[in-house]
Amino acid sequence: MNVVTISRDPFARHDVIRQRVNGTCSFCGNPAKFKYGHCPDAVWPRNNWAKGEFCGIACARAYHGGGL
């Protein structure tokens, strides 16, 4: 699956990324389309996926308390 960068924070030196999935939203129960995570700005970056699958970034941020 393709990983897509949806936002970049140059001060924290990481990207917010998403990947397409099929499942149920962990926050609202609607059909989930994505899982979200962080990719650090490093020589050998490793994607750090957040817990859960979500229908959109708003549900992901609400589920994780805005820390995504």
Smallest CA-to-CA distance from 7 within 48, 37, 32, 44 is with: 37
Predicted pLDDT of residue 10 = 87
Domain ranges of the chain: 3-63
Phi first, then psi: what are they for 4, rounded to 5°? Answer: -120, 135
pLDDT of residue 49: 94
pLDDT at 38 over 70: yes
pLDDT at 17 over 70: yes
Q: Model pTM?
A: 0.84
